[in-house]
Structure 1
């Protein structure tokens, strides 16, 4: 990949896409096909790197995450898009557009920005948990449920949604154990639901996870008991990767699900438009629970909206230029010129 270095005449693009995952590459592909100049800046830290494959992506089921990204990059380049490795440290206004500064000191300018930096998973602080993240420690049943079907699944309770999680994962396995850990005590009605579905409930705090040959062997309770499980479900806190947007006045806000705060996001409308004109966001940075296929679709929607916005701006500029060209004409002279132009078009000239 090429590097972006500072220069007196910084390179300018119609759109700079910050983040090169499914949302960013999909947006860049759409913009490239719309004949826009596009630069994708990617830090190379995909959230789904530990996963064995991308799931629920029609036509791409089970594709390794790295392969999907590699294919997407090739497609973006096919339509003239550029991709560079780097981390954006700040974005600032630059006249009618933006100036994007990278961690190597380089900078580029853009008429519009599409932010697709995704999120970071803040995992529960249980020894042995982080090393198994993405393989035996999971969070999404639709992403990983099939892969651990019929296995002994544990659910680490860390909030009021713990019972809901356990009942959900029961869809994939008859052997589900809910570790209350730091979750609130279930209500009588919830205990009845858990019992009706054959879900075991274990009181007490999980002190550590133990593994054998790199695979999860069980959850060690603080009182010393080892409860065998082959997969453990957790509820991370999702944090938007968007600190660089603070210089534009865009700050993350909390997102709730089922009455519980699950993380922070950059607020955006249906097409990704943020509160800052000229800045769009798509994918997990603005919708924390979005899956890969949804992020790709969101990138496309945002790109189409950006292209429409650029088109409107270009049309306004063309109208103003045309009016300036006719500024010295009398109304009658302008009418005659217009008639000649329209007449030549009617005759195919």
Structure 2
């Protein structure tokens, strides 16, 4: 993912600081810690706002692309062009959201739930008898489940069908269901995204939400691979979870680069932390980019997170799982999550509540 030039402004400031003489004593830097922090948070806010804007635009376009309701509803065969258009907009929305997931979960927890919670989380509370309305199961995964209703993997069906309150995924079968899908379910997601966009503008973002939110997102990478073993993964219907994870990492890099000039003012310890964090991101990015497509590798037969065999760990899924498990562990020195936490502590960025 290309990092917007505006996020490199902070790096330009650091370069200027190195090339200009310091004012006052030898120990005085060009910018204070507070100034570095403010600039980093401003850069991250611009990045987040840009992705929220893209999320809102894509969800509105998805709703607009939904077929006009007719007597037999619609399907991937009878309305292929419209369904393909909705799927394309869904993927745009997904990429934008996953690029800022860590911050959104912190600043908009209710909207994060209504837009991004998984099917099983919703139906744990109560049954959702209407797949297409704006109540019960909502958000990107509710729409994903309908758009890919004819291509859901067997492992996902096996997992979900065993849940209390399960209802089989389906395309709208009549005019009423098609109307509800377009005017209620899709409209609810577009409205939630529009509210997120409007509310974020005047919001005062802080360093813990901006930086530690990304650390939380990195720590969740292991959950995304673990749940793939049981059909519970996040973008399970479109088989798009690896694309989600790539977006998480690209966003993590963007956020880190906004804070990097400040970290590099912390002497040898800052330089060491910087190298460790960048190396960790490179390990994850290289592993993700080394896998073709948007889906996680197929898990080996009989896989167990707790006790995978050496043979299973040697598979593409096993290798990815091992790497992600390591990088997500904030208690293991050298892991990405550990080094990002260490860098946050070095800057004095408080932990999230």
Under a length normalisation based on structure 1, what TM-score does the superposition of the two structures give? 0.27
Structure ID, larger Rg: 1
Which structure's residues are more often strand, by fraction?
A: 1
The structure showing larger relative contact order (alpha-carbon pairs under 8 Å, at least 6 residues apart) is: 2
User: Which structure features the higher share of helix residues?
Assistant: 2
